[in-house]
Amino acid sequence: MMSRYILFFCCLLCYLNFDNRLINANPIGQNCVSSSTYNPNTTTGSTYRTNLNFLLSTLSSNASRATANGFYNFTAGNDPSNTVYGLFMCRGDVNTDVCARCVENASTEIVQKCVDQKTATIWYDECLLRYSNQSIFSRTDTSFPLFLSNTQDVTDPGLFGEVLGNLMDEIASKAANDVSGKKFAVQEANFSTFERKLYGLGQCTPDLSSSDCDTCLRSAISNIPTCCNNRRGGRVIFPSCIIWYETTRFYNVVTPSPEPTPTLPPPSTARSNGDGGISTRTVVAIIVPIFIAIVLIVVAFCIARRSRKRSGVIIVETSGVTEISTIESLQYNLSEIRAATDNFAIGNKIGEGGFGPVFKGTLPNGQEIAVKRLSRTSAQGAEEFKNEIALVANLQHRNLVRILGFCLEGEEKILIYEFVKNKSLDYFLFEPEKQTLLDWSRRYKIIEGIARGLLYLHEDSRLRIVHRDLKASNVLLDRNMNPKIADFGMARLFGVDQSQENTNRIAGTFGYMAPEYALHGLFSIKSDVFSFGVLILEIVSGKKSNGFYQAHGSDDLLGYAWRQWRDGTPLAVVDPSMGDSYAKNEVIRSIQIGLLCVQEVVEQRPTMATVFLMLNSYSLTLQVPNPPAFFGRSRTES
């Protein structure tokens, strides 16, 4: 069911845009539940549409009247089969005018963005509007979070996290108990590092009870690490509540005056803040281009960051390009792809994966792409294939190779990916001349990056993707040696049911596969965790898991690492090409985490969320690993 939900979103064009109205008018995201459309050609459907239109016009007209708390709910229709429930909420600090304009735009836009959807939500900076065929009033809905994060990192993550945690905690309590009826709170905190100030906002739809509001906000707060880890700003937006923080003030000072004071928005998130006075957007529009023009490094930085835009469901970094992943925008013509790859010239071939050859190409605009020409036939029809691609393309994370589009013509099925500059991890890891390029801090960053990407696939994206073939050659390194996981979602594209935990066709690679997967075809997120564990040990040791057996007689890499660990000599595992220059505690911890991931008993393996915590929190005491699945031997025998 989950897989049916398509979340479309778009992110604001941030700089070089001097027109307030334009910026104001763009939704920051919407979600449309694709599986439940009504058919306007049927009687019920057309009544639903009529009711919906009536609902939207009522919401819109009520927004322009002074609604005391920037909130209004309405129900249109009598018959349960065609009743529409809807509400809007404006941000607690915006005035009635801004609220009215926002809701007016939202009520028009929502039917355009979510055509014939029974249920939809649309978010703007200043308001949200939602409707459903089921009552949504006084209920907490924390599905479909929208994540937006500032592109800048904080200077002192430890301190920042602490100040942020305390601030958000207070805001949640304040908003939940807001006596004004708005369920809204803003607060700021001071601290001593570079950022100096932290501004936070929390708001629930006021139909929630205090305790529901508190629950909703705390759930949003618990998503901060996923959304915006170590970023200077971020938002977690649920249908029922929202939290938002930045190091510059982004909300209006709430005063009794009808005209709110304009404020300085966060540097990279040009957002609108109501109206009046010098436009804050103009300030940003001036500052940002100057920044970019003057500081070339910043430009490079921004470009690098573009690829870090994370979406799917849904992480948006609030800089850069407008992006709407509709199926149409993803589709390329075969002629374009032929032109880009010089008609699939052998010279452009950069690899041969399990699913077909990969070519390098260049689009007319100069963008470099990787073109995967699928050779296997998919069990799916063209429409299904397209839908799956739209879903997989929405999985965007800085540690995933991004899908730019696809081409589907005749027998050809082609996937188009961003071109990742460097080669795959195995190329660096297992080549003696290249190994030295990977010092420990790089390797550790790579481990963390892969963990992030995998965590996103497993937990943060609504699709819950099991990669099934995680290995060093499926981890690409960009020009900054950041890892990007490739080849995820292939099982979906080939019509293999992901909810089925059993498969006849094993897609994995020997040396990385969990025993239950290799032997019985049982895959789960825990079989990915196993592969991740193997990968950690390979990264630490610089040795191939499946090449180890031959070189070391009776031992395989996992067994070797475990025995060294047990004997208190874990550092014997370390890649000699790193010399002595590595952080011993990090290395030992990594080996321990790697060993925990390759436990034979599936339940004993941590989830990626736990792995991520283990990698990031030194205060967490790790379990002692049991002997790993000594799988190398039986594998080699077979």
Ligand X SMILES: *[C@@H]1O[C@H](CO)[C@@H](O)[C@H](O)[C@H]1NC(C)=O
Contact residues for ligand X, defined by CB under 6 A: 22, 25-26, 36, 39, 41, 58, 61-62, 65, 73-75, 80-81, 104-105, 108-109, 118, 133-134, 137-138, 189-190, 207
Q: How far is the CB of 47 from ligand X (least distance, A)?
A: 12
Cα dihedral 293, 295, 298, 302 in deg (nearest 10): 10
Of residues 65 and 505, the one with the C-beta less far from ligand X: 65
Of residues 207 and 600, the one with the C-beta less far from ligand X: 207
Distance CA 557, CA 545 (A): 5
DSSP 3-state percent helix, strand, coil across the chain (nearest 5) = 40, 15, 45
Q: How far is the CB of 232 from ligand X (least distance, A)?
A: 18
Distance CA 584, CA 91 (A): 49
Q: Are 405 and 346 in contact (CB under 8 A)?
A: no
Active site residue 212: no
Of residues 180 and 335, the one with the C-beta less far from ligand X: 180
CA angle 221, 117, 213 (to 5 degrees): 25
Structure tokens at 502: 């059993």
Q: How far is the CB of 196 from ligand X (least distance, A)?
A: 9
Q: How far is the CB of 171 from ligand X (least distance, A)?
A: 12
Of residues 8 and 417, the one with the C-beta less far from ligand X: 8
Question: Which residue(s) pair with 405 in the sheet?
Answer: 416
Q: Are 214 and 176 in contact (CB under 8 A)?
A: yes
Of residues 212 and 487, the one with the C-beta less far from ligand X: 212
Distance CA 8, CA 311 (A): 9
Distance CA 399, CA 308 (A): 8
Distance CA 95, CA 66 (A): 9
Residues 6+ apart with CB under 8 A from 623: 596
Of residues 26 and 424, the one with the C-beta less far from ligand X: 26
Q: Is the peptide bond before 506 cis (omega within 30 degrees of 0)?
A: no
What's the Cα-to-Cα distance from 637 to each of 39, 484, 527, 634, rounded to whole Å? 59, 33, 21, 5
- Other C-beta atoms lying within 10 Å of the C-beta of residue 630: 16
Q: How far is the CB of 75 from ligand X (least distance, A)?
A: 4
Of residues 39 and 222, the one with the C-beta less far from ligand X: 39
Catalytic annotation, pick one of 93, 178, 275, 469: 469
Q: How far is the CB of 445 from ligand X (least distance, A)?
A: 35
Which secondary structure element, helix H or strand E, spans residue 541, and what is its range? Answer: helix 525-541
Q: Is 504 exposed, middle or buried (0-12, 13-18, 19+ CB in 10 A)?
A: exposed
Of residues 56 and 465, the one with the C-beta less far from ligand X: 56
Distance CA 2, CA 384 (A): 15
Q: Indicate the residue whose CB is closest to ligand X.
A: 25
3-state secondary structure of 520: helix
What's the Cα-to-Cα distance from 289 to each of 250, 284, 298, rounded to whole Å? 19, 8, 11
Q: How far is the CB of 274 from ligand X (least distance, A)?
A: 17
Q: How far is the CB of 287 from ligand X (least distance, A)?
A: 23
Distance CA 569, CA 387 (A): 51
Residues 6+ apart with CB under 8 A from 612: 451, 452, 455
Count CA atoms closer than 13 A to 266's CA, side-chain side. Answer: 27
Of residues 122 and 611, the one with the C-beta less far from ligand X: 122
Structure tokens at 494: 């080939």
Distance CA 572, CA 180 (A): 64
**Which residue matches tokens 């778009």?**
10
Q: How far is the CB of 81 from ligand X (least distance, A)?
A: 6
Q: Which are the catalytic amino acids?
A: 469
